[in-house]
Amino acid sequence: MVQAANLIVERVQTGVRLEKRLLKVLKAFAEYKDMTLGDLLEGIVLHAFDGKAPFSEDSRRRIADLKRFYGLNLDSSASHRLKELSPRESGRVDSRRPPRKRKRARKNA
């Protein structure tokens, strides 16, 4: 275990995709705790790696309130079972990809 006031680390930007309501709860909780989303996620992961619960009873109550507010009805039993809708199924267009060009039928000469 590392005991120090401040630890110097190198952080990297990542493009992690998360369930929409889960992200809303995480962002709201980070704001409530006056920390960045990255700091919150690092803390959760480091506690999990050590087999420790990352949240106090008060924090779990606040998270339960935020889950109700944002309509997040998932719990740990949903882990590894979430399937993302395709852009077509969700009715949204994936803005990261340009639309496909249709191939024109070739005329025989």
Model pLDDT for residues 21-77, shown as the tens digit of each residue: 999 999 999 999 999 999 999 999 999 999 999 999 999 999 999 999 999 999 999
How much is the pLDDT for 87?
A: 74
Tell me if 35 is assigned to some domain: yes
Tell me if 95 is assigned to some domain: no
Contact 29, 40 (CB under 8 A): yes
Spell out a b/e string for 54-90, using b for 16 or more CB atoms within 10 Å of the CB, else e.
eeeeeeeebbeebbeebebeeeeeeeeeeeeeeeeee
Rounded Cα distance, 27 and 34, in Å: 10
Tell me if 69 is assigned to some domain: yes
Tell me if 96 is assigned to some domain: no
Tell me if 83 is assigned to some domain: no
Tell me if 34 is assigned to some domain: yes
Tell me if 101 is assigned to some domain: no
Contact 64, 28 (CB under 8 A): no
Among 20-24, 79-83, 102-106, which is the least confidently predicted range? 102-106
- Would the pLDDT of 100 be above 70? no
- The domain of 27 spans 20-73
Rounded to two decimals, the pTM is 0.75
How much is the pLDDT for 75?
A: 94
Task: Please state the domain count of the chain.
Answer: 1
